Amino acid sequence: MRIVVTGGAGFIGSHLCDRLLAEGHSVIAMDNLITGTADNIVHLVGRDDFLFIKHDVTNYIYIDGPVDAVLHFASPASPIDYMQLPIQTLKVGALGTHKALGLARAKGARFLLASTSEVYGDPLVHPQPETYWGNVNPIGPRGVYDEAKRFAEAMTMAYHRVHGVETRIARIFNTYGPRMRLDDGRVIPNFIGQALRGEPLTVYGDGSQTRSFCYVDDLVEGIVRLLHSDEVEPVNLGNPQEMSILELAHLINQMTGNEAGVIFKPLPKDDPRVRRPDISKARRVLDWEPKISLEEGLERTIEYFRAKVG
Ligand code: UDP
């Protein structure tokens, strides 16, 4: 297949490019590099089966020749990034999704949207099944991401219903691994960076809020299975192993031998209290579940960041 990955120089996008190339597909990665980085794909440049196009997908996307699939992964994705880039985030979720769907339609390609657990907002149902409609503050600081992705899901379903595009929607829960930016503000790079520098870990609030962390290789496996499946409606992809942020801090301090402990900082506005995917649907329709334990995934991620912290 010839596959377009928008956000191909991002954290998840670049791992997806690696995986698709390893399976023998040819890949066109598109990215405007506002939060992605060429470092993530530099090892692919020069291959015959790989092409990088620096492009902002909120503008018309032109691709020469056939395309079999469009995987739309372009978007700022960490709270710090999307709060600093609120308009770009809304535009890529809305206009970018429209353009990527337009490309898929024009080429007769399958389309897969990278959606998010943020469509559930600060959830009142726990764990979150795909049938839950969510609890989102549209005008809060996180609304720019949450509503952009909710709009993106609506647009994807509309292209499916009106134009018959073969569409797939992955609701991606917290994912981590190598190629996250050390300064992207998300909890795992923040904590590992702080731990490797011997600083106390910045726990927001009292640290009792929960998240469930999925290693990127497991996530990519789920994405590939979803792409090849027949499931049109959204599918949660994430690791159901839930923990509090304080527990995560202690684990990272222990794994890195950091003795500086933790310090508490104010909880950001609208920070979800709990989050954990119900993955029964992914188990059923994709025969998928995460395989990599948090300890193993963190080992690999710490290794990656060690080289960056220096
Ligand atoms: N968090 C924290 N310290 C940090 C960064 C994040 O305690 O240095 C918390 C944050 O408030 C949230 C959780 O960790 O409760 C996960 O935050 P992240 O930004 O990784 O992603 P989110 O799941 O909120 O989108």
Q: For the segment 158-203, what is each residue's pLDDT rounded down to a tens digit?
A: 999 999 999 999 999 999 999 999 999 999 999 999 999 999 999 9
Probe ligand 1: pick from 84, 204, 262, max atoms within 8 Å of CB? 204
Domain 187-209+242-273+294-309, CATH 3.90.25.10 — does that match? Answer: yes
Tokens for 85? 């880039």
Longest dimension (CA), the chain: 58
User: Which residues lie with the beta carbon below 6 Å from any ligand 1 atom?
Assistant: 78-79, 174, 185-187, 190, 202-204, 209, 211, 245, 267-268, 271
CATH class belonging to 2-176+214-240+278-286: alpha beta
Give pTM, 2 decimals.
0.97
Predicted confidence at residue 310, as pLDDT, reads 73
Positions of E strands within the chain: 2-6, 26-31, 50-54, 69-72, 110-116, 167-172, 175-176, 201-204, 210-212, 214-215, 235-237, 242-244, 262-265
Q: Where are the domains of the chain?
A: 2-176+214-240+278-286, 187-209+242-273+294-309
Question: pLDDT by residue (tens digit) across 230-275?
Answer: 999 999 999 999 999 999 999 999 999 999 999 999 999 999 999 9
Q: Is 138 exposed, middle or buried (0-12, 13-18, 19+ CB in 10 A)?
A: exposed
Concatenating the DSSP letter of every residue in 263-280 gives EEEPPPTT--S---B--H
Element of type H or E holding 63: none
Give the CA angle between residues 51, 167, 56 to the nearest 5°: 40
